[in-house]
Amino acid sequence: KANALTAGLELLPWTGTLVMVAPFAGWAVDRFGERRMAMLGLLNQGVGYGALAGLAAPTRGYGWYVGPLILAGCGLSMAGPALQKAVLSTVAPVALGKASGIYNVFRLLGGAIGTTLAVAVFGYFGRVQTAVTFTQGFQAAMILAAWLSLLGLWYARLLTSED
C-alpha cells in the first residue's frame, strides 16, 4: 500500500510533464499550428492511456507504467496550449477576457465530466477489494480515457489554423 506522498510522487511522470512540455508546446503551436499540435497531443494522450490499460496487471511493478504516464502527460501538455490558442485567436482583443473565461469554464467542466465518467466506469467494472478487481476497473477507466482522447482527436482535425 502506498501513502499519499508516494502516490503523489508516482503520478509525477504524468503531471510533471506540464512544467517541461507546455513551454515547448507553446512555441510549437506558433510554429506548426494549432491543429497539428492539438492532434499530436490528443494522439499521445490516447495512446498513453491505452498503453496504461493494456499494461495493467496486478503483478506488474510501477516501472511498467512510467512510459505511458509520460506519453499521456506530454499529450495533455501539448494539446492544452494548442486548443487555448485556437479559441483565443478567433476573438477580437476586446473579447479576450470573456473568451478566456469561457474556455476555462468548459475546460474545467470537461475535466469534471471526464473524471465522473471514469469513476463510474471504474465502479461498474471494478472494485478496490482485490488487486484483480482493481485492475479490471482501472483498465476500463483507462480505455474510456483513451477513447475520449481519440474522440477529441477526431474533432481537433476540424480546427482552422495557419499551418
Cell reading at 117: 465518467
Q: CB neighbours of 22 closer than 8 A, spacing ≥ 6?
A: 77, 78, 80, 81
pTM for the predicted model, two decimal places: 0.91
Judge contact between 95 and 113, C-beta under 8 A. no
Classified by CATH at the fold level, domain 4-156 comes out as Growth Hormone; Chain: A; (1.20.1250)
pLDDT in tens, 66-125: 999 999 999 999 999 999 999 999 999 999 999 999 999 999 999 999 999 999 999 999
Rounded Cα distance, 7 and 11, in Å: 6
* Residue 33, phi-psi category: left (phi > 0), alpha (psi -120 to 50), beta (remainder): left
Residue 159 confidence class, pLDDT cut points 50, 70, 90: confident
**Which residue ranges make up each domain of the chain?**
4-156
